[in-house]
Amino acid sequence: MRGQHVSMDLDLTKDVYPSRMDTDPQWLPRQDPVVYSEWSSESPIRKEQVEFYQKNGYLFLESFFAEEELQGYQEEARRLQESSRGLKADEIIREPGGDEVRSIFAVHRSQPVFRELSQHPRLLAIIEFLLGSSVYIHQSRINYKPGFTGKEFYWHSDFETWHVEDGMPRMRALSCSIALEDNYAFNGPLMVLPGSQHIFVPCIGQTPDDHYKESLRKQQYGVPDHKSLTEMVKRFGIDTPVGPAGSILLFDCNIMHGSNSNITPYPRSNIFMVYNSVENKVVQPYSGQNPRPEFIATRQGI
């Protein structure tokens, strides 16, 4: 079901997306395709969907999973949350200033249900089409985003982090977020700036060592400046794709996104999987620092 490969010359030693080096960062145009396959009538999504993804950098597929599939994922996620409550493990991230479980990482490795989900044939076909190659999971996690106390996630491009801190060479990856609950405009849904995937916004300042321990709880580095964000929102606007549980959101690795807090009683948990092209495997981090641990960014056996 793989699409036609759009060929690219890659010199992985060259850092084509420098970031966190300057105090007055200049925007860079994207050097890579957004969609890596040519559409044909055999493709796993419609032509308008490909065009929408190319233009806006995301695709929302309402009620993608069948009811019984969804129920299986929901139950497993709840079971995992319960069993993680008392546990101490690197993979378990808690809310700032609380004991509530915020995220659990590497669930595609630890849980057979989620390993199978990560290879769901209908899902994989779309992702391999968009990235034009075989893919592997760069990162997976469940975000619990609890009701009442769900904290915000500040604006960021995932790629900026994956490039600088994990050594992902080029923009040939995407995220898949699976809604485990109904999403509303008022319970802190993901906000994206449609079209922002075409621009790389370098961030300001150096990254402290072991910064990931804090950044998973609260973003402080690897975030764009206010001026850039204001300009981007003016240019691209803000979309908040929401829908019922079982919907999925596919979004490009470089789209600017974030979410507000959630004081409603409705949790907004989701399963989050990052697919990277096998032709874009991670190298040494471009920051020159140590790579982040395996549970955040797969390096072994890829």
Q: How far is the CB of 235 from a second copy (least distance, A)?
A: 12
Helix (H, G, I), strand (E, B) or coil at 163: helix
Which residues have CB under 8 Å from 285's CB, separation 6+? 164, 165, 166, 167, 291, 292
Q: What is the contact mask toward a second copy in residues 263 to 292, using x (rule: CB under 8 A)? A: xxxx--------------------------
Q: Extract long-range pairs of 111-115: CB within 8 Å, 24+ residues apart.
A: 111/76, 111/80, 113/72, 113/73, 113/76, 114/73, 114/76, 114/140, 114/271
Q: How far is the CB of 43 from a second copy (least distance, A)?
A: 32
| Size of residue set near a second copy by CB under 8 A | 25
User: In angstroms, rounded to a whole number, what is the distance separating the alpha carbons of residues 112 and 72?
Assistant: 12
Q: Which of 189, 184, 102, 195 is nearest to 144 (CA)?
A: 102
Decide whether 171 or 199 has the Cβ nearer to a second copy.
199
Query: Among positive and negative, which fits the CA dihedral 250, 254, 256, 260?
Result: positive
Decide whether 49 or 56 has the Cβ nearer to a second copy.
56
Q: What is the contact mask toward a second copy in residues 106 to 145, using x (rule: CB under 8 A)? A: ----------------------------------------
- List the one residue from 54, 63, 110, 261 that touches a second copy (CB under 8 A): 261
* 259 binds a second copy per the rule CB under 8 A: yes
User: In angstroms, rounded to a whole number, what is the distance separating the alpha carbons of residues 193 and 240?
Assistant: 9
Residue 194 dihedral angles phi and psi, to the nearest 5°:
-65, 125
Q: How far is the CB of 168 from a second copy (least distance, A)?
A: 25
Q: How far is the CB of 225 from a second copy (least distance, A)?
A: 10
* 184 binds a second copy per the rule CB under 8 A: yes
Decide whether 3 or 267 has the Cβ nearer to a second copy.
267
User: In angstroms, rounded to a whole number, what is the distance separating the alpha carbons of residues 285 and 70?
Assistant: 36
Q: How far is the CB of 97 from a second copy (least distance, A)?
A: 12
Query: Among positive and negative, which fits the CA dihedral 212, 215, 221, 223?
Result: positive
Q: Which residues bind a second copy (CB under 8 A)?
A: 147-148, 152, 154-155, 184-186, 188, 191, 226, 229-230, 233, 238, 240, 258-266
